[in-house]
Structure 1
Amino acid sequence: MNVIIVSDTHMPRMAKELLKALKNELYHADLIIHVGDWQTQAVYEELKSFAPIKGVYGNVDEAFFINKFNEKLILELESHRIGVTHGHGKGKTTEQRAVAQFQDDDVELILFGHSHIPLHKEYDGKVIFNPGSPTDKRRQARYSFGKLTVERNKPLHIEHVFFNEK
């Protein structure tokens, strides 16, 4: 299963359409996971034209997302449990808030966004991953999103896709 992970698209404020580097990967996606701050329903409509979508809402999302998605999600893909949250809130760092959301859950991967800072590391026996943003890199060198390969009874393979041009 080929999964594309996006966060913090902030569309149409930060981009009028999905960017070419992202679209090229979406054509091959079996699933899209959006970890919040979509901003408008048009982003959802465009993404779902490529593949089924799972996701959570973020702190700037309109009512459509709050009504359709939750703040926290646990996905079971093949033999893997994946936690998904945006990571917004008060106190602690974004990373700490994301990890805390799943402290009582048996997940092997935690996906989160909010900071726009790409991150991929192991923490307390779990992999934590922030795809960054494909439209709003802020102080980062490049735009980014994530690719996850899921196979039953095989380790998850997750990586960033970085690109320079909007």
Structure 2
Amino acid sequence: MKIIVISDTHIPKKGPKLPSRLMKELEAAKLIIHAGDWSSMEVYDMLQQYAPVKGVYGNIENEEILDKFSSKELLIINGFRIGIVHGHGEKKTTERRAFDAFLDDDVDAIIFGHSHIPLLRYFKKVLLLNPGSPTDKRTQPYYSFVTLRIDDEINAEFTFF
């Protein structure tokens, strides 16, 4: 199953639409996961034209997004438990806040955003994944998103552009 994972799109502030490099990959997606900071429902509307969309709200959302999404989501995909959270808050690092959000949920992976810093690593046998941002790279050298394939195992591949 091909899943496209994004976060921190900040549309329309960081541009009027999703980048063409991302849209090309969305064409073959079976699921799209957004880890918050959509900024507008336009992003959701764009994404759902390609595949079903799951996600959470971030820390800069309008009421429409807050009404549509929760702060935390747990998906079960091919037997793997995948947590989604934006990762904003106070104290600790974004990564630690994301991990702590699922302490009681026995997850295999946690997808989060907020920092705009691409990350893929294991911590205490949990895969931590931050796709970065396809529209707002901040201090990073490239925009990014992740292609996640979940079958008998979880495989994650970054696209940097």
TM-score (ref. length: structure 2): 0.98
Q: Please give the alpha-carbon distance, in whole angstroms, between the structure 1 residues aligned to 2:38 and 2:154.
A: 25
**Corresponding residue for residue 57 of structure 2:** 57
* Cα distance, 1:37 vs structure 2: 0.2
What code does the residue aligned with 2:157 have?
Answer: E
TM-score (ref. length: structure 1): 0.95
Deviates more, 1:2-11 or 1:58-67: 58-67
Please give the residue correspondences for 1:76-87 in structure 2 after superposition, counting only pairs within 5 Å.
76-87=76-87
* Cα distance, 1:140 vs structure 2: 0.2
Please give the residue correspondences for 1:1-166 in structure 2 after superposition, counting only pairs within 5 Å.
1-151=1-151, 154-163=152-161
Cα-to-partner distance string for 1:122-158 (whole Å, 9 max, x where unaligned): 100111000000000000010001110011xx11001
Other structure's SS at 1:96 match: helix
Counting matched residue pairs gives 161
What code does the residue aligned with 1:59 have?
Answer: N
* Cα distance, 1:64 vs structure 2: 1.3
Cα-to-partner distance string for 1:87-143 (whole Å, 9 max, x where unaligned): 001111100100000111111000000000000001001110000000000000100
Other structure's SS at 2:65 match: helix
What code does the residue aligned with 1:105 have?
Answer: D
Cα-to-partner distance string for 1:55-112 (whole Å, 9 max, x where unaligned): 0000001111111111011001111110000000111110010000011111100000
Q: Please give the alpha-carbon distance, in whole angstroms, between the structure 2 residues aligned to 1:25 and 1:64.
A: 27
What code does the residue aligned with 2:158 have?
Answer: H
What code does the residue aligned with 1:80 have?
Answer: F
Structure 1 segments of 4+ aligned residues over 2 angstroms from their partners: none
Q: Please give the alpha-carbon distance, in whole angstroms, between the structure 2 residues aligned to 1:42 and 1:68.
A: 13
Gaps of 5+ in 2: none
What code does the residue aligned with 2:64 have?
Answer: F
What code does the residue aligned with 1:106 have?
Answer: D
Task: Indicate the RMSD between aligned Cα atoms, in angstroms.
Answer: 0.6
Other structure's SS at 2:21 match: helix
Q: Please give the alpha-carbon distance, in whole angstroms, between the structure 1 residues aligned to 2:119 and 2:102.
A: 17
